């Protein structure tokens, strides 16, 4: 999934269709020592708690960080975590195969019973794609060694952790980084993806001091078959400003202890739905 040639094509298409990415020097992650990138406070918030805007009012922040409420487990979250784990495990196992010849097989230990068929299907799909691309790289003589062959098939470094403290965040875990772009995999509803991708990119810029101008959003569906759609987003000033606006609002809610109240309509998949809508959660 997302081989070298596929990612290169996505980025080239984005450059052609949208033109050069314009990023003001003051909106790079490494400008963390001055506004607007410098945060109003250093609270160590999780980027995923606010950047995607899943909670219409941001009350999840109040409940988690001020009221000390714990999120409730639900099937949607469990499935998303299991599918992410299966995808990362397939990529990791492929690299063991590419470098040491270790066989690939799905490990479903700890995966909820009702999610196992999807996790196994995803693992096998990713494994098949990577092994096929690996064979192609060898057959087409694109690679002169095991390292290059592995890179052609799986150029994504997965679960990349950087310190988000310069942006007022906790540790930030990006699903992947490849060819100078940040990559996020999504199995459920996705919104505000550009703002979230900009947040990941700016955290990486703050940590590494290198520009990250694109984010790749990969929406994956696992049902009777595995299907995915990947889109490369330019992370220019607009996306970065949206992320900073969401971050500053999140910090204000937590720092002030302000309860923004429940939204009239919330997704039932929210882990705090049982608190905000106790009368409807049964």
Backbone angles phi, psi at 223, to 5 degrees: -135, -120
Read off the pLDDT of residues 242-272 as tens digits, 9 standing for 90 and up.
999 999 999 999 999 999 998 888 888 888 8
The reported pTM is 0.92
At 282 the pLDDT is 54
What are 12-35's pLDDT values in tens digits?
999 999 888 999 999 999 999 999
Q: How many helices (H) and strands (E) does the chain have?
A: 8, 5
Average pLDDT over residues 82-103: 94
Q: Cis omega before residue 21 (within 30°)?
A: no
The confidence score (pLDDT) of residue 188 equals: 82
The SS3 of residue 186 is strand
Domain 4-19+29-273 CATH assignment equals 3.90.320? yes
**Each residue's pLDDT tens digit, 37-80:** 999 999 999 999 999 888 889 999 999 999 999 988 888 888 99
Start-end of H helices in 70-188: 75-100, 116-139, 146-153
Domain boundaries, the chain: 4-19+29-273
Task: Read off the pLDDT of each residue in 138-166 and give the average, rounded to a whole number.
Answer: 92
Say what the pLDDT of residue 189 is. Answer: 78
């Amino acid at each position: 999934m997302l081989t070298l040639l596929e990612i290169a094509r996505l980025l080239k298409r984005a450059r052609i269709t949208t033109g050069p990415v314009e990023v003001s020097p003051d909106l790079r992650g490494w400008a963390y020592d001055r506004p607007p990138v410098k945060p109003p406070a250093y609270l160590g918030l999780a980027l995923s708690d606010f950047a995607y805007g899943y909670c219409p009012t941001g009350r999840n922040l109040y409940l988690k960080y001020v009221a000390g409420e714990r999120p409730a487990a639900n099937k949607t979250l469990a499935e998303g975590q299991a599918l992410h784990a299966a995808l990362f495990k397939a990529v990791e196992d492929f690299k063991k195969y590419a470098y040491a010849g270790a066989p690939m097989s799905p490990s479903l230990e700890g995966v909820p019973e009702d999610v196992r068929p999807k996790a196994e299907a995803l693992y096998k799909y990713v494994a098949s794609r990577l092994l096929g691309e690996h064979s192609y790289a060898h057959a087409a003589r694109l690679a002169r060694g095991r390292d290059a062959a592995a890179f052609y098939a799986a150029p994504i470094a997965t679960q990349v952790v950087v310190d988000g403290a310069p942006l007022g965040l906790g540790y930030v875990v990006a699903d992947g980084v490849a060819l100078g772009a940040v990559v996020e995999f999504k199995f459920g509803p996705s919104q505000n993806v550009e703002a979230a991708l900009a947040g990941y990119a700016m955290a990486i810029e703050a940590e590494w001091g290198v520009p990250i101008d694109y984010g790749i959003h990969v929406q994956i569906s696992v049902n009777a078959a595995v299907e995915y759609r990947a889109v490369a987003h330019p992370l220019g000033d607009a996306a970065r400003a949206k992320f900073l606006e969401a971050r500053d609002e999140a910090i204000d809610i937590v720092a002030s202890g302000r309860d923004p109240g429940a939204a009239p309509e919330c997704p039932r998949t929210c882990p705090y739905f049982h608190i905000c809508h106790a009368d409807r959660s049964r």
